[in-house]
Chain A
Amino acid sequence: MSVTRTGTAIIGGGLMGCWTALMLRRRDPDHPVLVLEKGAVGAQASGVNYGNLRIQGRHPGQLPLAIRAAEIWERLRDHVGEDCEFDATGHLYAARDDAQEIAKAEKTAKEAAAHGMTTEVLDAAALAARWPWLKGFSVASWSARDAVANPRLVTPAVARAARARGAEIREGARVIAAAHSGGAFRIETDGGGIIAADQLVNVAGAWAPEVAGWFGETAPVVPAGPPQFVTDAVPYFMRPSVQAVDGSVIFRQTPQGQIVVAGYPRGSSDPVANRAPVDPRRTLAAMGHLLRAVPRLHGATLLRVWSGIEAYLPDMLPVIGPSGTTPGLWHAFGFCGHGFQLGPGVGAVLADLLLDGRTATPLDLFPITRFATGQVTEAEHFRREFDSRSLAQARPDSAGSAADRSGQEA
């Protein structure tokens, strides 16, 4: 059997994997890179998310990474040769007339400003003056630098750019086993392919815990996705992307005129059966929130719903960094529904780590070892949002049963 030798093997051709491949080749054009994708690049969470490129409203510990990512997004065409509908529309983080929500919006503005972002806190009168179609919000934090892009287009474009720079991208190659011995990784794909790699990157999204498990570590991933929908096109009027502080609704208008909406709460997805059902009641709830926020959309129609298979972790923070068990293995997964914006930043950071062994971007909050040492506190909004069905899937014993099921289906 022929063995493919490579420098860095990447498991997962999503946004993280493809950006990592591209950034590696940009920094070191001689570094051999192989991306292994079980389906098509960017077809899962990377491709079906809302397309939010907001910096504000993140955990402050993520802001340096988010800002590094934003600098790359803002030169997307230079990096990948396409703009993928990137548009710095600005982002409103909007609070209803509720003291806690208002405090949260104000805190968000302050935190982003502390990292050099320009944010404005707008009251109801200022909101009405700028966006008279927006109703029901008392205070909002406005970040003009924040943007959106079309997630369906981005990852394939990044993958093409990586390939053009010499990275190898294999679609339809599902990794079924990986092990480390003698200072190298041996990776096996379902087509009978064997890969020998010096370093291994696990960016397999909701499927990442299985990979981590091969190396004796784990993270309590909950596979889930938001109820999302799109309306029929209406004449363009909505410039910013708007996010309600309580998470009930997030919406933006595409250049084609449709309103793209993500609702609340997220529902469980099934990475084994590859299904992400949308509860129609959640769709109806989000439709109601949208109409109350934008009464001008009375008469518009619901066109299509979808969700995705995203990886959530209990502290609502991703895993980014070295393996706790295996030198040369790196993880980046569990982006908790806010990984799209971070993609190029994660790619740049992983390229640093793979080539230099270190990075200037702080990653203190993201080690995988935090789950083994029991330092993780469940985020309040995680507890509030996920129903018992989702959480049941995150129990440590469920990883084994999921693997069994997939074995039977194969």
Chain B
Amino acid sequence: MTSVAIVGAGPAGMAAAALLAEHGLRPVLVDEAERPGGQVWRQPGAPVTPDKKRLLGRAGAADFTRVHAAFAAVAGRVDHRPRHLAWTVQDGEVFLAEGARITTLRPAALLLATGATDRLLPVPGWTLPGVFSLGGAQVLLKDQGAAIGRRVVFAGASPLLYLAALQYHTMGVEVAAVLDTTRFAAKLRALPGLARSGTRILARGLSYMARLRAAGVPILHGVTGLVVEGETRAEAIRFTNHGGAERRIACDAVALGFGLRPETQLSDLAGATLRFDPTFRQWLPATDADGRCGPGLYAAGDGCAIGGAEAAELSGRLAGWAMLADLGRTVPAEELRALRLRLTRLRAFQRDLTRAFAWPGHWLRTTPEETLLCRCEAVTLGALRAALAKPLGPREINRAKALTRCGMGRCQARFCGSAMAEAMSQALDRPLDEVGRLRGQAPVKPIPLDAALAQEAAAP
């Protein structure tokens, strides 16, 4: 049988796997997690059994049930490999690590549905214990049924702030405030466009805000100058409100969310072309309308273009059809047209949303020198700026990484890369795309050295 493989068992990967299985293929579905679902439809780790309706809301719970039921119906025909990290792709061969066990795949078609992670913006105090990324705060709740604190502030520039805050509130955690760094007026201006491209999602988003307000959670727009205070852990968040007044809110945890960034290392290693997107201010794999990004190579979901859960699901299905088409199967032209149309609208909605919740990268101009930029290698903003200012200093981001160690550590710049590029663009007065992008280097995430010995033991 023709071998097809999918990396990532989130909404995109699950949808593609289901479609391929329905058409008689047995796709290999590689995923780092224990259970399918990705971040958005993450299933709780046993023995945690949070009330889904309470956690996700009625509509969310219905989607959760639908997505997992659809996958369960084909699960027996999918070669699902949980706990497997796809750590590099070389000449079409995918290298996997399950702990220290290495295996490889050589699929005729490979779909990368690697999802996204939080885009972080360093603010003073962001590395204090008690400060989490927004996605991390949600994962903890969904996976472990645990909260990041007892009195939590949600801060940043992201529509997901409201969703996460509401989830925390409904699960009984005190939400001290939502501090939105984007102005109310900017969001108002975006409303007509958003209403055109995604009425239902917009309505959901507005209902989160309304419910938080009804619950008495303070929501502040146009907040600037975020500083997390605390001796040994987060004790309060300080900021300047829209009116210019200095404010301080006591809390024991902060979730910071500045939007998402696609996980593109694997598509880079697999040979996709990455293009700069000026709206997202990120580099995205260049694909055709159905997700093709190279010979036998496909991308879908947030790892391809930030679009949210529904867009991920649709783009996964589209990419699945593209794989089938390229393998010589007949595909339903009518469904494809409808999928493309809906996906285009959803991605347009996300673009408008990204403009409304603009990432405040310009803050870095005034962020204090001593603020840590790269946690893994302990590189401060000041150290990066000093390296850039030297004679023959780096003008390009890979070079800056080589000379400063910024982005060179364990997270491979997942956490600092976006801010590092913005800081370089500002310091050098160079457009962000000219600063370049960090090249993907294997492994996508660290793998144990012991894998080598396990590999030798397994060899015939």
Contact = CB atoms under 8 A, between A and B. Distances in A.
B395 interface: yes
B451 interface: yes
B441 A171 contact: no
Contacts of B93: 280
Interface in A101-135: none
A307 to B, nearest CB: 10
A279 B90 contact: yes
26 contacts: A156-B390, A156-B403, A159-B392, A160-B392, A163-B391, A163-B392, A231-B449, A232-B410, A232-B446, A256-B405, A277-B90, A280-B93, A284-B102, A286-B452, A288-B453, A290-B452, A291-B453, A297-B449, A298-B450, A300-B449, A301-B448, A302-B443, A302-B448, A303-B410, A304-B412, A304-B442
Interface string A256-288: 100000000000000000000111100111111
Interface of B: 88, 90, 93, 95, 102, 377, 390-392, 394-396, 399, 402-403, 405, 408-410, 412, 441-443, 446-453, 455-456
Given A40-B395, A163-B392, A301 B403 contact: no
Contacts of B377: 256
Nearest to B441: A304
A288 B409 CA distance: 22
A256 B403 CA distance: 14
A156 B450 contact: no
A287 B449 contact: yes
Highest count of chain A CB atoms <10 Å: which of B392, B396, B408 = B392
B112 to A, nearest CB: 17
A72 interface: no
B374 to A, nearest CB: 12
B441 A306 contact: yes
Contacts of A76: none
A366 B391 CA distance: 34
Contacts of B102: 284
Contacts of A280: 88, 90, 93, 95, 442
Given A40-B399, A160-B390, A303 B446 contact: yes
Nearest to A37: B392
B449 A278 contact: no
A306 B448 CA distance: 17
Contacts of A156: 390, 392, 403
A235 interface: no
Given A277-B90, A280-B95, A287-B449, A304 B408 contact: yes
Contact of B394 (A40, A279, A302): A40
A377 to B, nearest CB: 34
A165 interface: no
Contacts of A160: 390-392
Highest count of chain B CB atoms <10 Å: which of A153, A286, A291, A299 = A291
Contacts of B443: 302-305
A305 B443 CA distance: 7
Nearest to B447: A302
Contacts of A304: 408, 412, 441-443
Contacts of B88: 280
B392 A169 contact: yes
Contact of A152 (B403, B446, B448, B451): B403
B452 A285 contact: yes
Interface of A: 40-41, 43, 47, 152-153, 156, 159-160, 163-164, 169, 171, 231-232, 256, 277-280, 283-288, 290-291, 297-306
A301 B446 contact: yes
Where chain B touches its partner, the secondary structure class is loop
Nearest to B269: A277
A302 B90 contact: no
B271 to A, nearest CB: 10
Given A297-B449, A298-B449, 17 more contacts: A40-B392, A40-B395, A152-B403, A160-B390, A160-B392, A231-B449, A280-B90, A287-B449, A287-B451, A287-B452, A288-B452, A291-B450, A298-B450, A302-B443, A303-B412, A304-B408, A306-B441
B448 A288 contact: no
A288 B391 contact: no
A135 to B, nearest CB: 13
Nearest to B448: A301
Contacts of B395: 40
A284 B455 contact: yes
B267 to A, nearest CB: 16
A173 to B, nearest CB: 13
Contacts of A300: 448-449
B356 to A, nearest CB: 37
Nearest to A301: B446
Contact of A43 (B399, B447, B452): B399
A70 B455 CA distance: 41
A163 B391 CA distance: 9
Contacts of B394: 40
Contact of A288 (B410, B442, B455): B455
B84 to A, nearest CB: 15
A302 B392 contact: no
A291 B403 contact: no
A13 to B, nearest CB: 9
Contacts of B446: 232, 301-303
Contacts of B453: 288, 291
Nearest to A302: B447
A153 B409 CA distance: 17
A237 to B, nearest CB: 15
B402 A47 contact: yes
A290 B449 contact: yes
Nearest to A169: B392
Contacts of A41: 392
Nearest to B439: A306
A164 B390 CA distance: 12
Closest 8 CB pairs of A and B: A287-B452, A288-B452, A301-B446, A152-B402, A284-B452, A287-B449, A304-B441, A280-B95
Given A43-B399, A163-B392, A299 B448 contact: yes
A152 B406 CA distance: 13
Contacts of B409: 303
A391 B362 CA distance: 51
A302 B449 contact: yes
A278 B88 CA distance: 10
Nearest to A164: B391
A98 B450 CA distance: 26
Nearest to B394: A40
B319 to A, nearest CB: 25
A305 B88 CA distance: 11
Highest count of chain A CB atoms <10 Å: which of B403, B408, B449 = B449
A276 to B, nearest CB: 11
B455 A283 contact: no
Contacts of A301: 446-449
Nearest to B396: A40
A268 to B, nearest CB: 13
Contacts of B455: 284, 288
